[in-house]
Amino acid sequence: MLTPKQHDLLQFIDQHMRRTGCAPSFEEMKEALDLKSKSGIHRLISALEERGFLRRYRHRARALEILRLPADAVPQSEASEVPTASRFAPNVIRGDFSARFTGAQTAVGVPAISLPLYGRIAAGQPIEALRAAHTDIEVPAMMVGSGEHYALEVVGDSMIEAGILDGDTAIIRKIDTAEAGQIVVALIDDNEVTLKRLRRRGNSIALEPANARYETRIVPAERVKVQGRLVALLRRY
């Protein structure tokens, strides 16, 4: 699932590499997407890496590799050199998941699985985890891989630059460890839970938002437990 900016950047990189044989510079990417700073490009590339569309080779200039393109990518023969936001739509699972998703159906012919839908998770200030009672949600089987999964309703806007919006339903793979840069469900002090990008800073954990209006929260590592990693999103329209 890609946001319009992520979609635009991926296609721009692909077009540039096809045309020149090398990846564009961060300055070229910034200008192509009309962003004010290169930090926005860094965040978009990290999100594309996390979703498996792009691979970045560390410590090498312009070292990017396209792993795959979204199904709705514009064919090379039809695309302009610089993509425009109006050409793309968010690549998310759309649908009417009404009545708290009870009995929700996926598209005809698409295999579905049932996941437990727990309470709400903050993409803003942490809130108490609500896991005592839950309902179930039907999701397309293609959204999850191996392992145990569950769903949480997103509350807040601190992850909007990673394409995670207030009201989205986050599909989480249950794990207790995570790599730096992954978006995780973090339990703090066995009481608060939040959805943030995880970084390690010495003996501390940095929980990074994807919204310039919010500050990174740094917590001693022993106070943080990883309870899962974000693998997909559902969105209601």
Annotated catalytic sites, by residue?
158, 196
149-155 and 112-122 strand pairing: parallel
Let me know: does 62 contact 20? Beta carbons within 8 Å: no
Q: Which residues contact 39 (CB under 8 A, 6 or more apart)?
A: none
Element (H, E) at 42: helix 38-50
Nearest to 232 by CA among 87, 94, 127: 94
Tokens of 153: 């309703």
Is there a contact between 91 and 7 (Cβ–Cβ < 8 Å)? yes
Only one residue has tokens 């579905």, namely 112
Q: Taking a C-beta distance cutoff of 8 angstroms, is the pair 130, 151 a contact?
A: no
Length of the chain: 237
Question: Distance (Å, rounded) from C-alpha 130 to C-alpha 150?
Answer: 13
Q: 87 exposed, middle or buried (CB, 10 Å; 0-12, 13-18, 19+)?
A: middle
Instruction: List beta partners, residue 111.
Output: none
